[in-house]
Structures are given as structure tokens and as C-alpha cells.
Structure 1
């Protein structure tokens, strides 16, 4: 997409000396004559320049991402001008929407009513997202700020939850604390995608959300591969399960889990040129508690090999790392990992992916937090 700015460069003087005309020029509008008699207008020979600039992403003066438009276009699209772009020819237009909105603008921010003030809850809050052009294939949703009620003691998002419908990607119900998480959603052809947040007004909680919605072109290098709910593009990084936290679930503080049920998704890492494998390790001794009775274990055991469970003993909640081997290069005969500890493993299977699986039955799972795993791509040769 391009914006067009029609500007007057100069005008040749009138044949008769002393004659003049007034000009009125505004960003994004054609220049017009003001108060010049018709017979005088005919003696002018204005020269015009058509300036085109791309509607690319920009950063506004409020540090929010926007799209570069003319000032008039930004107003027509119900955006907010925040600084300039395109060498001061355009404005960085920021789009902020709340409940009951529809958008086809890139970098739209979906917020709760009166954000950043917290929200007490009420009716379902939705935004309908349409592709901005026929070359858009995917959305990336960044949870810049996301705090909803915790799941019940069995990990079910029953009071508050986010759902995404209409796309070609299955997004699980998400609730709890998920600031800085993200998901990718494929469009199903030209059909719109609806993002909904349900809240229970009868449950007292300070809810808040701010979700940035980015549209990704079909041929973009930033497009996530098919089957990847989450996608990372750095050589090192950290992957966190939804609603991970060290604070116990206040809705069931004695036996309740923070880990969400019925998850089945892939976390992909883009392979960097010159790198042949990826290493996965736990972030700290408490960062992998995905199954079993975490509360019943000796705290000195959690995070060690003694609390790590692998293979066929992982039947309900676990992560999968395809074709793993240990740090000495010895191949492992298991690819499932669960329990309350994680042993560092390496995988050279392409693409780099981590699968996350939880079932709908948390019987026997007590005070599970979920996981934080660090990844590091390994340069060729591996050993």
C-alpha cells in the first residue's frame, strides 16, 4: 500500500505584475487556490509533484507501533497521529480498539475498556480482524499486557479466557497471567478472525489486557511455519508455558495447578544459517514442574535428575523434543519429558520444534507451575 501526497512545487508569475493568489496546503491534500478570481486563475501555470510513500510500519512518539499514512488518511481510518514518518511527509498512525470493534489495520492494539485502568468484567469483549489486503496470510498476537482470572484448581479456564475463532489455527483457551506471550494464527482464506475475551463479573479481579495485532504477508520472512502456535527467530531465547508462575493459584492454593489443560501446540525456532542443532535446558531449578505432585517432593530434589521423568512414564502432561541426544552426543531412546525436573538435551531434527501437550485430567498433579525452558542454537559441526 502507498499513500500519495500532491504538493505544489512553484507557480509561474502572472503576466500582469502585482497579481497574486493565496495557497492553502495541508498534508495529504491537493493544494487549492483561495480567493483568486477566475480570470486570474487562468493566467497561472502551477507545477505539481506527486509524492508516493509506502504504508510501512513505524514507531510513534508514544512508542507504539503504527502505520505510515497521510494525516487525512489517519483521520479517515480513525487512527491517532503519533509523530511523523517518511521524512516528515506522513504521520505514524496508531490504531487502538476495544470491545465491539472491527479492524483491517496492521498493528492494531486491542485493549480492555478504559485501559490501562483495570476492568471489573462483564459481557464478552471482541474484535474482528480482517486482512488488510489479499497478500496477508497470518496474524501475530503479542500479549503486551495480559492479566485474567486464574483457571480453576484443575487447570480449566472457566471464569475468564481468551479464544480465537475463524482462523485456520487451533488456539487453546488461555487465561491467567500471560504478559509477553504471543501466538500466531493463520487466516482461513479471506474470512475474518475474531478475538474474544470472556470475563465473569461475579468474580472480583483486576483484569487488564493490551494485545498488539500484527498482520503478516504470505511471502514475509517473519511468517511462522504451518503448525507453529509460537515462533522464535533468535539464536538464543526462552520459552515459557502459558500462565507459568511461582505464585500458587489463589483459586485453589493447596492443591490447584497453574498449568492449563487441553494444550496441544508447537513452539518453533527458526534455524539460523550456520547452525545445525538446538539445545534445550531448564531456566532454573524450579522452572520445570509439569506433572506429578510438586508439593509432595523434597524441595532439594525438584529440578534435578531425580525428579525428571521421561518416555512412556509421561502419559498426560509433557513436552516432546524430536530425536534428542545428550550433551555428550549419545542418542536418547525417548522424546517425552515430564515430571519436576528437566535434563538438558540437544536435537538436530529440522525444523527446530518443541511440542507442548496437556490433557484434561489433572488428578494427581499438585501445584504444577508449567515450565520455562532456555534454548540455544548450536553452530556446525555440533561436536
Structure 2
């Protein structure tokens, strides 16, 4: 008698704890260092969840990288590295979800001088990241045959209880979910909220040289936040919402308690820290289109320029930006309108 071989697709699945895995046989899961978490493929396969710790390498899709003994915290100096390899030759990009990322805040000038996350080896420039960044994500392109590495360093002299947990998904070169070139972050909903790294409502404890509270805004950033245009939608509106401090990317915020700050626009006023919204116009204004916005408030602006992108730029000196949070702003796409002429 012959023995039948049961085959099934190694598709993406969800484990019993909600973690994303890949459907394998129990032996395949064990061979790649994964943990079976529930059944898949009509109960003949196992949802294999792969979780790696410091110093480990993975070429498996949907790998989780965590600190040692997560969810326990990391205290004191440490160094942790993860290496990400392609799972197949037709992979061009990865998406890293910061499911949990809590590191020490930057110093008063926005520099990650105690703790820092560096993502290196890819073709995408990722700024140094520190502070509280749970919920953020980044897209990183592979650079030829090089591996992508995530390096986390924690320093002495901080009482921060550090934790991190990342999910790394690999994206095919022809995948519709691949982020366009130049987009470090990529959103696909018709409406939502985007924020700068380490945005938060509390003031950073790091002091500037003039002994005022420092900035939560990170120094030395230059990256694009992109929104995928929905079919039938032709423009996008960016707005600050009701929080008067939800946009503070330059000037001194700490001296303006309880009042909406000053909005500045244009290349002449916005030279150090700013956001760029190409060919945008203030809602209800007859002003010609502008690109740059800075200061302590963002006017509601709209643009039909595609792709929909907001670029954030900060320089190396945040010394005078006391109390700044960065930004957390809302976007909403608008449907195309057609005009019919009657004769």
C-alpha cells in the first residue's frame, strides 16, 4: 500500500494569541525555530509563529523580534542586534511594525544620546529613533543582497523601563502592498492620523542648555509619510484637530500654555524644522499654493498633488524648540467631483 502525501499552502495564518504566523507542518515549524500556535489548512497544519531574541537571524516572513524575557523590561546598558534576510529572491521590501517600543527619551536637543534604535543595511534612510514609539511602523527596501539589521543600544543613567517587540513582514517586488519609493511610512485608509516619531503629550525631561524642558521631537530626520490614494478620490486634507499642541515643530512651545501657537508658511520662514505638503492650499484661502509649514500650529490645508505625501524635516539643533512634541495630525481623502456642461 502506498502512503499519501498531504500538501497544503504555506499561507499566512493567525495563532491562538493573535500573533501572525505561517502554516507549516509541525516538523517544518520546529526546523525553523518556530512555535505551533493553533491549527490551519483545515486542521492539517500548524500556525507557526517565529519569535527571535537578540543576536539571532531570520529569513522567515512575519518574524517577531523581542527583547530578552519580553514582556519583562530591560534595565541598564545593553546591546541587541537582529538580522533580517530575504525569504525568497523576489522580496524587495520589509515592513517593521513597532508593536511595542519604549526607550529613553532624547536629550534636550532631540538627540538619542542614551538609548537608540538604528536600522541599517537597507536602501532606505531611517533616522535614529528613541523614546516612545509603540504603534509606529517603517518600510525599508533591501539594498541588493545585503541583510537589514536592527540595532538597539541602551545606555546607563536612565530609569526608563525599556521594552520592544517588532513584527517584520516581507513584501514582494510586485506586491500591491509595497510602499512607493521615498515613503518611510505608508497608510492605505481613506482617513486617519499620522504622527512624528516620539510624539507624546508629556514634556521631555531632557533639559536644554538654558535649563528649559527639552523637545520630544527627534533631531536629524527627513522622511516621507505617504497615503495611498483611494480609487475615486482626488484630493487630501490635512488638519490639526482640536488639540492646540498637536503641531509644534519649531519655535518655543513651552512659553505658550493654553493658546494656539503661530502658524508659519513658506521657504523663507520655515528653514530649520518643518513639514512639506506639496502644492497645498489653506482651506478657504485665496493664497497661492505653498509647500512648507512650521511654527506651533498647522492650518487646515488641502492638495490634489499625487502621490499624497507629507515630508517631515528636522535639523540637528533643537535647542530653541522647548516643549515641542512634533506633530499628530489628521488626514482625510475627498472624492473626485465631475462638472458637466449643459448646452
Q: Per the shorter chain, which TM-score range?
A: over 0.9
Aligned residues: 334
Q: Does 1:238 align with 2:203?
A: no
CA distance in 2, matches of 1:274, 1:92: 38
Which structure 2 residues correspond to residues 140-289 of structure 1 after superposition, within 5 A?
Answer: 140-252=95-207, 254-283=212-241, 284-289=243-248
Of residues 302, 318, 322, the one that matches 1:362 is: 318
- Greater shift after overlay, 124-133 or 250-259? 250-259
CA contact (8 A) 1:98 1:112 kept: yes
Structure 1: give runs of 5+ residues left out of the alignment.
1-44
Of residues 274, 291, 298, the one that matches 1:342 is: 298
Instruction: Tell me the CA shift for residue 363 of structure 1.
Output: 3.0
Q: TM-score, normalised by structure 2?
A: 0.94
Structure 2: give runs of 5+ residues left out of the alignment.
none
CA distance in 2, matches of 1:138, 1:59: 22
Of residues 81, 85, 88, the one that matches 1:133 is: 88
CA contact (8 A) 2:214 2:319 kept: no
Aligned to 1:300: 259
1:70-110 CA-to-partner distances (Å, cap 9, x unmatched) read 11100111100000111112110001111100000111111
Query: What is the Cα-based RMSD across aligned positions, in Å?
Result: 1.5
Structure 1 runs of 4+ with >6 Å offset: none
CA distance in 1, matches of 2:286, 2:61: 47
1:56-76 CA-to-partner distances (Å, cap 9, x unmatched) read 211100110111111110011
1:36-59 CA-to-partner distances (Å, cap 9, x unmatched) read xxxxxxxxx33x433322212111
Q: Does 1:315 align with 2:235?
A: no
Higher relative contact order (CA 8 A, sep 6+): 2
CA contact (8 A) 2:244 2:259 kept: no
Instruction: Tell me the CA shift for residue 362 of structure 1.
Output: 1.5
Q: Does 1:83 align with 2:38?
A: yes
Q: Does 1:70 align with 2:25?
A: yes
Q: TM-score, normalised by structure 1?
A: 0.84
CA contact (8 A) 1:125 1:197 kept: yes
SS in structure 2 opposite 1:50? coil
Of residues 309, 312, 316, the one that matches 1:353 is: 309
- Change in CA separation of 1:347 and 1:382 when aligned onto 2, cut-off 3 Å: farther
Aligned to 1:14: none
Which protein is bigger by CA-based radius of gyration?
Answer: 1
Aligned to 2:250: 291
